[in-house]
Amino acid sequence: MNHKEKDLERVSFGIAVMFGLYWTYSCFIKRYLPISDSLKTAVGLGVLYVIGLGFFLCITQKISPCKYDKKKIPVKTVFLCFLLQFTSILVFTMLVNVSAALGLGSIPSDSSALSGYMLFMLLLFNPVVEELVFRKLFARKLLKYGERFYILASSFCFAVVHGVSLGIPQIVYTFILGMIWSYLTVKTGDIKLAIFMHGLSNLFGSIITQALLGISLTAAGIYSMILFLLGITGFVLFLVNRKKIVLDGSTGLVKKAVIKDVLANKGVLFFAGLTGIVMLLK
């Protein structure tokens, strides 16, 4: 087993343990605690980001860290990445509607997205903590094996985790977002822009939508059309500029060999299998 394969196994197993502890708490322990719902939520965050993250760091501590320099990125690249976030929203909306039409799910509607707690989680806490884990920590452990390898591993693990929330459409949605934010991390050598984009994605994709639904269905419909146009624009610009994407010294976003290295990894398969079991349980 080479170092790349072994290190990815450790990282993916560490993430599996981290979220496995949280899912165990959510599925089997949370309901029996004699405390308020807010305290149960706080305990869950502690299990995930204190105990779980601690296990992740212990499991991956033997992997030598990778140092990468901060770089400048063209404004037009940032703008394209911003538009592609709307493309991901468009893809997610289409998948959700198709699933609902086939009777495989329902169209989500959650007014709690406007609560003070959810605003804090969506705009600040989740963008910072999730980018720290899936972008920065993954980069420190895996970027030395190639930009494409890191981007795919980070994005896949990030997406699979979110499948527990809303199923397959959420996996596809967050995979696209993960690719965007991992790419930005690679090109800037930092996670600040990824954090900012993550917050914007939650703002435009969830918070504004829920706010408009509470005000006027007409306004929400107009906003949906704007999102659609922005998503189509992002997709078209991506197709036009796809050959300009340079990673590991060559053009193209993904390579077959990299896909095989990541998706055939035993640790990644274990993590994906564990997530699938939890999705069935929930």
| Listed range (152-156, 233-237, 249-253) with the worst mean pLDDT | 249-253
What is the structure's pLDDT at 98? 86
Whole-structure pTM value: 0.94
What is the structure's pLDDT at 2? 84
Write the pLDDT tens digit of every residue in 151-181. 999 999 999 999 887 788 999 999 999 999 9
What is the structure's pLDDT at 68? 78
CA distance 174 to 161: 9
| Listed range (111-125, 154-168, 202-216, 233-247) with the worst mean pLDDT | 111-125
pLDDT over 60 (residue 243): yes
Residue boundaries of the structural domains of the chain: 66-265
For 33, list phi and psi in degrees, rounded to 5: -75, 130
CA distance 49 to 133: 10
From first CA to last CA, the distance across the chain in angstroms is 35
Write the pLDDT tens digit of every residue in 100-140. 787 766 555 554 557 888 999 999 999 999 999 999 999 99
Alpha-helix residue ranges (DSSP H) falling in the chain: 3-24, 37-46, 53-59, 75-101, 116-120, 126-131, 138-142, 147-166, 168-188, 192-202, 208-215, 217-241, 256-263, 266-281
Residue range 205-230: mean pLDDT, rounded: 93
Could you tell me which residues come within 8 angstroms of residue 179 by beta carbon, excluding any fewer than 6 positions away?
A: 151, 152, 155, 253
